Structure 1
């Protein structure tokens, strides 16, 4: 797995632009009108350039709002000034939340992770936020976990009963179709 702590600001910025370019070339994203994404923080793969370009293309972007029970509500992105600091160092959209089920009305979901294996098992930060989102979607919407190069693993990640696999991963060097077990 890639060592995120070894990535400096320049490497993160270069990776964010490359990731944006790969995501914008995805047919699912190109045809989408409403996209669920997230605002990256720290050493996560950068989503800033991607969110800005999607917004400039006129796509509606919804971003997560962390609930006290670690579920995710959603709010509409209306530019960088519409984001506010939130608990856990996150940036979240301001305004009236759309509800946890707003995720079921998107055309594509871009989600975070620390790694993913070739069977779609995603390693997150352990709170199960996105497993709840993926369970709500029930495989009805294309999902892409955004990662750094080296974080799509050939070795299996242990899958817990609550883990919901993802179909695709995107790294700065390309898109990866995964093969979730049925």
Structure 2
């Protein structure tokens, strides 16, 4: 691990232990995007905000922690994209359209429900995204965030930025427990994005220090990572043909 990766891992460990010690997450939450008690109240608070009410297309993480927000998006008639686990395949997103869902929104919004009932799409078939709902282990008040360490959220957002689907108009929000919000600095690299708003069951925090990559930071990816994610392998091949380096 690099020094930055080690520093991030230390932050994750501290926050996971804090959440478990206070009993605000299930006992198996270490190592995961924590599905905290109070997530439903947080989703309701998100739904009260202007940027939510304006949004017609939402992209959300597939983690259990974001399930109440995904359910609320479908209840409110919003088109919902969820990432396929590990961005598997050349169509790495699920599309859930509330106008065509044949089961309850509570079932459709789960990982298993999306796999059964959603249509898989590639970026070429997606609409511009108004709102990204981002899972976090930790986030600070300037908007810097840390996930669980796999890097998929950063790759998903970078891919959508390159495709012109996440733009300067897109809002990124992190629904979290108050204990996940830190006052300290969080280490970042070039591929990390920040969030525009943090929402807890009791508070809405506007983050002024917006940071987003211009797209995929290829130098940060190993050959093994690229090979494991088909859409990245295709993108790299196209990039090589364009630049003459492939």
TM range (shorter): 0.7 to 0.9
1:113 is matched with which residue? Answer: 136
State the Cα deviation string for residues 116-166 of structure 1 (Å, max 9, x = none).
122221101112211123332354410001211121211001112321222
2:173 is matched with which residue? Answer: 144
Structure 2 SS opposite 1:97 = strand
CA spacing shift, 1:33–1:138, aligned 2, 3 Å: closer
CA spacing shift, 1:180–1:69, aligned 2, 3 Å: farther
Which ranges of structure 1 fall in alignment gaps of 5 or more residues? Answer: 86-90
1:7 is matched with which residue? Answer: 24
CA spacing shift, 1:124–1:54, aligned 2, 3 Å: same
State the Cα deviation string for residues 46-66 of structure 1 (Å, max 9, x = none).
x33333332222122221112
Aligned mates of 2:152, 2:90 — CA distance in 1 = 5
Structure 1 SS opposite 2:72 = helix
The aligned runs of 1:34-53 (5 Å cut-off) are: 34-41=57-64, 44=65, 47-53=66-72
Larger strand proportion of the pair: 1
TM-score normalised over the length of structure 2:
0.59
How many residues in Structure 1 have an aligned counterpart in Structure 2? Answer: 171
TM-score normalised over the length of structure 1:
0.77
CA RMSD of aligned residues (A): 2.9
Q: Which has the higher contact order (CA 8 A, sep 6+)?
A: 1
Larger helix proportion of the pair: 2
